[in-house]
Amino acid sequence: MTTKKLLAKLHLDDVAFNKIQYAVQEEEKRTTGEIACAITPESATYAFYELAASMITGALCFGIMLALSTPIIRWLNTLFWEVPVWLYPLMCGTAFLVAVPLIYALVNIPAFDRLVIPPAARSAATWKRAMRCFAESGVYKTREQSGVLIFVSYLERNVHILADSGIAAKIEQEKWDAIAATLAEELSEGNAADAFCNAIHACGELLAAHFPPHPLDNPDELADGLMILEGGE
């Protein structure tokens, strides 16, 4: 899935981006914690699984053609005075060559892509991409180790909320996982702006309880807007 399709699918326009950014800014006013948000169309390319599915399907088509050779040749005999010896092998080869690109195009549609990619591969790729984003966006290096990353990978339907060490020492991961589960459910309804804002508010509630703001010294250490990451990195 391309970034453009992702934005259209989730109705992420300028108004939505501004709404999410405002939500982050408002929550960070009542805590020294920092909230970062990121979304990517997919966490990996998964080309191996897509190509494997295409080749296997092509081979199945070829095998079915061979298994049905007798009735197909009988049918061909009704069409021709004499069936050319090369015609049936050509039909088998054509079936394979048509099936491979057709299935490859089909499995690049997210709903079908998820069927051919093993859940373990999707989970591992999403976790790796989330950890990379956690490092690259600087969430790990806030002054009080109080950064939180809300990470969404759309193709895999996976949501992770990663908290830095300062937060992990005070707030158990199960609470972040509960927010992530709710966010995933709300994202499935297609209104990403409201889903993110609700998750941001829930994160803000937890952070405010454990990391109250310093009235005279509460710098904004991370970008407040929703980061759009390139897919398949």
Give the neighbor-by-neighbor strand order of the sheet with 34-40. 158-163, 147-153, 34-40, 226-228
Q: Considering 116, 134, 168, which residue would you say is the last residue of a domain?
A: 116
Question: What's the CA gap between 95 and 11, in Å, rounded?
Answer: 40
Range of the domain at 174: 3-44+118-228
| pTM recorded for the entire structure | 0.84
For residue 102, tell me if it sits in a domain.
yes
- Residue 28 and residue 111 in one domain: no
Q: What is the identity of the amino acid at 35?
A: I
For residues 123 and 140, membership in a common domain is answered with yes
Are residues 107 and 132 located together in one domain of the fold? no
Q: Is residue 74 part of a domain?
A: yes
Residues 139 and 217 in one domain: yes
Per-residue pLDDT of the chain (233 residues; tens, 9 = 90+): 788 888 888 989 999 999 999 999 999 999 999 999 999 999 998 989 999 999 999 999 888 888 888 888 888 888 877 878 888 888 888 888 899 999 998 888 888 888 899 999 999 999 999 999 999 999 998 888 989 999 999 999 999 999 999 998 999 999 999 999 999 999 988 789 999 999 999 999 999 999 988 876 777 778 889 999 987 66
Residue 167 lies in a domain: yes
Q: Is residue 177 a part of any domain in this protein?
A: yes
- Distance from C-alpha of 75 to C-alpha of 32, rounded to nearest angstrom: 77
At residue 25, what are phi and psi to the nearest 5 degrees?
A: -60, -40
In a domain, 233, yes or no: no
- In the three-class reduction of DSSP (H, G, I as helix; E, B as strand; rest coil), residue 119 is classed as helix
Same structural domain, 126 and 98: no
Q: Angle CA(136)–CA(171)–CA(26) in degrees, nearest 5? A: 65
For Cα atoms 98, 102, 106, give the angle at the middle one, nearest 5 degrees: 165
| 132 burial level (CB within 10 Å; 0-12, 13-18, 19+) | middle
User: In terms of Cα–Cα distance, which of 98, 76, 94 is closest to 85?
Assistant: 76
Task: Return the CATH number at 181.
Answer: 3.10.310.50
* Total number of domains constituting the chain: 2
